[in-house]
Amino acid sequence: MRSYSSVLAAALALASSTNAHMKMSMPAPYTANGALENGPLAADGSDFPCKMTSGQYTPPATKNTMAAGSQQGIRLEGSAIHGGGSCQIALTKDLKPTKTSQWMVIHSVEGGCPGGSTTGNLGNDPTSTASPPIPYKIPDDFAAG
């Protein structure tokens, strides 16, 4: 099995047309010096991926281990989904992803991401876990390592 903590931490950084104020809570994300906040990515891309700047990776206390071919789910924390948008889940083989990492999109959700058919927001709680998990599958041929 492969530890996907760094690659999945970047997965939702590729969310396309949504302006949601949320952060990934499962799988356990990397953080910027232990503090992951839920604002949008910087317009200039300076904190892509994972809301990080160079050299700020703090690995999660618990490794995320997922087998190739396994079904998984990303859980988001926050409530300001603004009616949702579209999301992509992508992997990279880089242990510390950067803007120049190569990404492989493994799942796309067109519309209603996050939050399904919810219009507006899911309340005013920045720690809410009311948004449903986003299911995805690790590709069968994604190499362990």
Q: Which pLDDT band, with edges at 50, 70 and 90, does 17 fall under?
A: very low
Position 9 pLDDT exceeds 50: no
85-99 in b/e burial notation, b at 16+ Cβ within 10 A?
A: bebbbbbbeeebbee
* Rounded (to 5) percent helix, strand, coil in the chain: 5, 30, 65
pLDDT tens-digit series, residues 62-113? 777 889 999 999 888 887 777 777 888 988 888 777 788 898 899 998 888 8
What is the distance between the alpha carbons of residues 14 and 45, in angstroms, rounded to a whole number? 11
**Token code pair at residue 119:** 């219009």
Q: What would the mean pLDDT of 105-129 be, rounded to a whole number?
A: 79
Position 144 pLDDT exceeds 60: yes
**How high is the pLDDT of residue 49?**
80
For residue 75, which amino acid is it?
A: R
The model scores a pTM over 0.85: no
Which string of DSSP letters, residue by residue, matches 81-136? -TT-EEEEEEE-S-SS--TT---EEEEEEEEEETTTT--S-S-S-TT---SPPEEE
**How high is the pLDDT of residue 117?**
72
